Amino acid sequence: MAASEGVDLEFAIVDHLRMNTSIGKYSSKIEDQAKKCAEHVLTFAKNKKVEAWHSDDSTNPFKIGIYAKPEPKTDVVFKIGNTIYTASVKMAGPVQLASGQGVSTADLFEAAAQHLNNKTKSKVLESIINELRIMPTRLLSESNKPRILSEGKQKLIDEFIKNGKVINDKNYDVWLKNNKPLLMSKLLDYVESDRDFKTALLYEAMTGEKTLSQYKGAVANSIISPKGFYQINDQYVNSIFSRVKFDIRGKSRGGITGVAFRIDLK
């Protein structure tokens, strides 16, 4: 999903619910998905009045443009009757529930543990969190070496390349080979063996209830997509259990790669 398409869908949903004319404003793909999303909201609302705002719109019920760091989970806000729904917008197709580098992913796992009745973390979970927290944010893949050599300043080249080769400690491909298999094995074994923790992890990834609690309006309590409008609760989390995939991948910017943890919904 292109980032601009996702943002277009957010605004298009609001336009449809406000009955604003949007002909020619969005692509046919976005129009079609926005129409379906709006229909799901109206069906959910039944005969109740529906109001809608984009998260950037400071006339929303929170009276601010919704902001968070790294980013809010809320994309659009609905007022249905007297109830406020802070909704995360997802396009049709595979859905990314979470993606973050080491520190933010470690914080996600810490926050998930806070949802549990027994908040004492096991040694295995502590170990996973510690490894996530130190995942590197600046590496260079072999495929990006020519780009850095041709476009990068000398300081950047010296940081990653010596004698024409990517320095081992800075080599993304080497890091993946030496670290990903063991970390993923530990992570998957733990998550799949503890259903309560997996539930808490998915819930926190979708809502940001703990990690974003200090940001007004940033915590999402619902999801809207062309497939439906859903409140994020235990029932919804359980319904997606078998379709969730965890992975560790590179996230590049300007040719420099950071290691990111992802949760995707098929």
What is the per-residue pLDDT across 202-261, written as a single tens digit (0 to 9) for each? Answer: 999 999 999 999 999 999 999 999 999 999 998 999 999 889 999 988 888 889 999 989
Tell whether 182 is covered by a domain: yes
Other beta carbons within 10 angstroms of residue 206's beta carbon come to: 25
Report the pLDDT value the prediction gives residue 101, as an integer from 0 to 100: 86
Residues 134 and 195 in one domain: yes
Report the pLDDT value the prediction gives residue 99, as an integer from 0 to 100: 86
pLDDT at residue 178 is higher than 90: yes
137 token code pair: 């944010």
Closest by CA position to 15, among listed 43, 46, 41, 47: 41
pLDDT at residue 197 is higher than 70: yes
The pTM (predicted TM-score) of the whole model is 0.88
Tell whether 29 is covered by a domain: yes
Domain that holds residue 253: 98-214+244-265
Of the three residues 67, 95, 123, the one that is the final residue of a domain is 95
pLDDT at residue 171 is higher than 70: yes
Of the three residues 95, 115, 149, the one that is the final residue of a domain is 95
pLDDT at residue 118 is higher than 80: no
CA angle 243, 118, 135 (to 5 degrees): 55
What is the per-residue pLDDT across 97-115, written as a single tens digit (0 to 9) for each? Answer: 888 888 889 999 999 999 9
